[in-house]
């Protein structure tokens, strides 16, 4: 274990050093719009990156010989790996390209609040409120997935099936949206069709997840997280330097206006460089969706299942929060200066939205960077995307195998067969999401942020309240879970059809995926207790058995707690 830790730190340190010193090498370099320039450097960095990812997958094969090891890493993953796995699963190319571009353009530097909300609500509070109780109860119930938790917590097989179907349906568009975050960056850097980026990313992610399971994913997430931290710092410094540093960039942003914004907010002097930006209410909705949503996402909550010990939870809380401040805060802070690059991205004749869509903002900001920094950005975005993709496909395959197929479709499913089916489903999920991404990238149907918003809103809205109350409140009933599941799934589906033009807009402002998702999460926190109080109490013996895991007496050193007789 010690040798493996040293190896991880060594590889991570080398990769991080490369990204951190990139600006120093780039100071004298001339930016170029020619994708062929520096092609050898770009390809070399990608080959090293891919080689490390595959090597880790092969190395971790011994940890993926049974279901517990493949899905949860044997419940023995330390704080650094768990915290980075949580953070890298949280922040993907969807954040870096889609959300940072769209909301940075809309709110200016006030979009930084989204990243800080992610750090405080989505990381710190999630770990403090959910981490320990999730680890203890899921081990007590012997559950490896969120649907399995619902079944055993409420003694309701129907909950397991419904939750599995929701995850299966809504993880697909989320997974597909990850690829789209790479399209413009890949074409900008290599001048090659985006389809090749999708294929390469799919194959390589599939290899290391299939080979090493959760442990390979966690170790690679750690390495990718180090790259993300170093990369975002380097890129922010380089982008701001193009406009005279931080102060020069803020002064330039204060001169920008946008008369197309509702209520004339965009005409207020300095609005895009202000504390709360032009639309504080919508900003709050984005903070809620992207922060509170992690509490109900199966691929995020699943990280708490695998952490090793109580002390590791405390350490992981700090590490995860710091990671989120740097990566999420940095991404949204960078996106806040997007309007300074209007000439590169192109703006409509009447002002307002970018000509190439919001997904074009970040690539336009980076297009004038030196070749070495373009290469760093590629590795950064690939790291963000592959880490999230690996988490999503592992969650999807384990959920379908263990919660839908096992003992329902396939009887007497041996452990060997479960592993085989999970690995096969990883291939299927990656292939399906890749095809959707390839088809959708040429369609104007949805931006990256909207695709992710629908998925997050549906899953987090459905699961957040039942899971949270299920951990803490004995009175929570099966019926309340079903109502929460169905309400958010149906509501987000209707919002999606309205945005596609299939249905007329009868939801008003709630047809927006951001508002709709935030609404579903918050209303779920009301639905579950209300329905629970109106329906029969759950079986007392069942509830007492479930919550008995929190009452077990354990012996701890005097340095950690006083004995009963101590004064």
| Distance, CA of 204 to CA of 200 (rounded, Å) | 6
What was the pLDDT predicted at 19? 45
| Cβ count near 300 (within 10 Å) | 25
- Nearest by Cα to 113 from 125, 99, 127: 99
φ, ψ of residue 3 to 5 degrees: the values are -65, -40
Ramachandran bin of 73, using left for φ above 0, alpha for ψ from -120 to 50, beta for the remaining angles: left
Predicted local distance difference test score (pLDDT) of residue 332: 94
For helices 132-141 and 540-547, angle between their N-to-C axes, nearest 10 degrees: 120
Q: Which of 92-96, 468-472, 486-490 has the lowest mean pLDDT?
A: 92-96
Angstrom CA distances, 97 to 116, 141, 414, 449, stand at 18, 39, 42, 9
What is the pLDDT, as a whole number, of residue 440?
67
Whole-number Å distance between alpha carbons of 368 and 364: 8
Q: Report which of residues 483 and 37 the model is more confident about.
A: 483
- Whether 443 shows a pLDDT value over 70: the answer reads no
Q: Once rounded to an integer, what is the mean pLDDT over residues 322-334?
A: 93
Q: How many helices (H) and strands (E) does the chain have?
A: 25, 0
Average pLDDT estimate for 142-168 = 91
Distance of CA 376 to the CA centre of its chain: 21
Categorize the per-residue pLDDT at 21 as very low, low, confident or very high, splitting at 50, 70 and 90: very low
* pTM across the whole model: 0.84
CB 78, CB 308: distance < 8 Å: yes
For the segment 396-417, the average pLDDT, to the nearest whole number, is: 85
CA distance 166 to 418: 21
Does residue 28 surpass a pLDDT of 70?
no
Which stretches within 63-156 are classed as H helix?
A: 67-72, 79-90, 93, 100-107, 112-117, 126, 132-141, 146-154
Helices 157-180 and 371-399, interaxial angle, to 10°? 160
Using DSSP, state whether 307 is helix, strand or coil: strand
Q: What is the pLDDT of residues 333-388, one digit of tens each?
A: 999 998 888 877 777 655 567 876 777 788 888 877 777 777 777 787 777 777 77
Give the single-character DSSP code of 400.
I
Sign of CA dihedral 271, 275, 281, 287: positive
Residue-level pLDDT at 46: 80
Identify which has the larger pLDDT, 261 or 377: 377
pLDDT at 26 over 80: no
Task: Kindly indicate the confidence band of residue 168, based on its pLDDT and cuts at 50, 70 and 90.
Answer: confident
Contact 133, 141 (CB under 8 A): no
Would the pLDDT of 533 be above 80?
Answer: yes
Q: Which two tokens stand for residue 60?
A: 């971790």
In this predicted model, what pLDDT tens digit does every residue of 170-181 receive, in sequence order? Answer: 887 777 777 765
* Residues contacting 401, CB < 8 A, separation 6+: 418, 421, 422, 425
| Domain architecture of the chain: domains with CATH | 41-436 (1.20.1730.10)
Lowest mean pLDDT among 70-84, 225-239, 375-389, 433-447: 433-447
Q: Span 161-187, mean pLDDT?
A: 77
* Range with top average pLDDT, 1-15, 217-231, 482-496, 502-516: 482-496
Average pLDDT over every residue of 384-405: 84
Which residues are 347's β-sheet partners?
Answer: 354
**pLDDT grade for 556, boundaries at 50, 70 and 90:** low
Q: How confident is the model at residue 35 (pLDDT cuts 50, 70, 90)?
A: low
pLDDT band at 406 (very low <50, low <70, confident <90, very high): confident
Cα dihedral value 93, 96, 101, 106, nearest 10: 120
Read off the pLDDT of residues 495-531 as tens digits, 9 standing for 90 and up: 888 877 788 988 888 888 878 888 999 999 999 999 9
**The token pair that represents 15 in the structure block:** 């990769």
pLDDT bracket for residue 97 (50, 70, 90): confident
Q: What is the pLDDT of residues 280-323, one digit of tens each?
A: 988 988 898 889 989 999 888 988 888 887 778 889 999 999 99
């Amino acid at each position: 274990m010690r040798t493996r830790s040293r190896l991880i730190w060594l590889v991570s340190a080398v990769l991080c050093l490369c990204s951190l010193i990139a600006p120093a090498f780039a100071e004298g370099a001339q930016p170029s719009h020619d994708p062929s320039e520096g092609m050898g450097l770009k390809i070399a960095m990608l080959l090293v990156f891919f080689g490390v990812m595959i090597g880790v997958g092969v190395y971790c094969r011994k940890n993926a010989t049974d279901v517990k090891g493949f899905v949860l890493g044997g419940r023995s993953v330390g704080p650094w790996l768990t915290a980075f796995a949580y953070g890298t699963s949280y922040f993907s190319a969807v954040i870096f390209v889609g959300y940072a571009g769209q909301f940075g353009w809309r709110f200016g530097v006030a979009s930084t609040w989204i990243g800080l909300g992610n750090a405080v609500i989505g990381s710190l509070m999630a770990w403090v409120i959910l981490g320990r109780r999730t680890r203890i109860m899921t081990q007590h119930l012997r559950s490896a997935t969120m649907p399995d938790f619902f079944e055993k917590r409420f003694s309701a097989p129907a909950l397991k099936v419904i939750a599995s179907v929701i995850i299966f349906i809504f993880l697909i568009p989320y997974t597909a949206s990850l690829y789209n975050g790479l399209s413009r960056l890949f074409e900008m850097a290599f001048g090659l069709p985006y389809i090749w980026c999708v294929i390469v990313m799919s194959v390589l992610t599939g290899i290391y997840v299939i080979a090493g399971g959760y442990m390979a994913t966690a170790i690679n997430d750690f390495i990718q997280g180090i790259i993300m931290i170093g990369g975002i710092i380097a890129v922010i410094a380089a982008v701001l330097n193009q406009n005279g540093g931080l102060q020069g960039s803020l002064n330039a942003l204060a001169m920008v206006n946008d008369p197309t914004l509702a209520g004339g907010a965009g005409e207020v002097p300095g609005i895009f460089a202000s504390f709360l930006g032009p639309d504080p209410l919508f900003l709050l909705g984005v903070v809620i969706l992207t922060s509170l949503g992690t509490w109900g996402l199966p691929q995020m909550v699943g990280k708490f299942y695998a952490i090793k010990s109580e002390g590791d939870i405390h350490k992981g809380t700090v590490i995860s929060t710091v990671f989120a401040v740097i990566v999420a805060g940095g991404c949204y802070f960078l996106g806040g200066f997007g309007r300074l690059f209007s000439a590169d991205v192109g703006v409509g004749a009447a002002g307002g939205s970018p000509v190439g869509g919001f997904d074009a903002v970040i690539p336009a900001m980076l297009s004038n960077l030196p070749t070495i920094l373009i290469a760093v950005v590629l590795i950064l975005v690939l790291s963000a995307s592959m880490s999230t993709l690996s988490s999503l496909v592992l969650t999807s395959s384990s959920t379908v195998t263990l919660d839908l197929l096992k003992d329902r479709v396939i009887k007497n499913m041996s452990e060997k067969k479960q592993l085989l089916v999970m690995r096969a489903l990883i291939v299927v999920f990656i292939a399906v999401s890749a095809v959707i991404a390839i088809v959708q990238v040429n369609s104007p149907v949805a931006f990256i942020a909207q695709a992710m918003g629908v998925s997050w809103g549906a899953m987090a809205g459905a699961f957040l309240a039942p899971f949270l109350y299920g951990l803490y409140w004995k009175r929570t009933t099966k019926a309340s879970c079903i109502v929460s599941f169905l309400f958010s799934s149906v509501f987000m589906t209707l919002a999606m059809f309205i945005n596609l033009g299939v249905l007329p807009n009868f939801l008003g402002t709630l047809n927006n995926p951001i508002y709709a998702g935030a609404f579903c999460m918050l209303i779920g926190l009301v639905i579950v207790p209300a329905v629970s109080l109106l329906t029969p109490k759950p079986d007392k013996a069942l509830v007492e058995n479930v919550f008995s895991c929190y009452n077990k007496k354990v012996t701890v050193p005097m340095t950690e707690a006083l004995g009963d007789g101590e004064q």
